[in-house]
Structure 1
Amino acid sequence: MLNHITVMGRLTRDPELRHTQSGVPVASFSIACDRDFKDKSTGERATDFIDIVAWRATGEFASKYLTKGRMAVVSGRLQMRDWTDKEGNKRRSAEIVAENIYFGDSKTKEDQEPPASVGGPVEAAGGDPFGGLSGGFAPNFGEPADDGSLPF
């Protein structure tokens, strides 16, 4: 069976990092994802608010580098949870258990130099995602640097 989901949206709040009784870190946050279509009557896009749970290093990464308003790409598995509220009513909620989290926006000047993601590609020092192996190309795949060694 396949249970894989990838969503992109802005964080609605800062991730909350907690630890289980055995000391395992777990972060929870939610992201707002606009739908691809507009409502015919209002002309506006509906927004879905999706709960995310990130365990261990992925949760620590989210807690350390993501903040409210940042764009994030989250991939993982969809999980349904049954629970009982304070009034004794049975409830069901859906959440994504994050396996990989990536930045969905550019860094600002105030941001630190974090890795590109947890569980996915990581930028090398200096911001070159190819670790200096980009063959003279800038990280944005612009014009090659003129180093005089090109055969044409």
Structure 2
Amino acid sequence: MQMRLMVDGDGSPVKEEVIRLGQRFQLPVIIITSVDHYTTKEYPPFVRLVYVDKGADRADYQIVKEILPGDILITQDYGLASLVLPKQARVFHHSGKEYLKETIDTLLMQRYLSAETRRAGKRTKGPKAFTQQDREQFYEIVSQILQKTE
């Protein structure tokens, strides 16, 4: 079975980079997103858009259902990453950082503690703005990973 590139599309800033990677390495790309993000934009034939109903975690459920061993998922959602890793898929943040079974529990705990801090009325730092340099770094990192798997 051929590896596929999957994107948790609701907030991903690297959809275009993933499409470029799919084209370069001749891999199918699947973008799973809410109907809230419906587009009439034309995509190449190797790109499939999957729309899910509105609602919390609907895209996540679809991704968990569709992902196969060997696929690569791009998401910023630690919870989703933790559900996909046991399915022998590789999971990357849009920064290019790979989520690993060995570190996912720590990330989930940090997310929990940040949520507790916010619930207590304290502020936490949000993510820094995503730059063109960040996009290029993502592309290079995932490109190197894909070259190794050829």
TM bucket, shorter chain: under 0.3
Higher helix share: 2
Larger Rg, first or second structure (1 or 2): 1
Higher strand share: 1
Taking structure 1 as the reference length, the TM-score comes to: 0.26
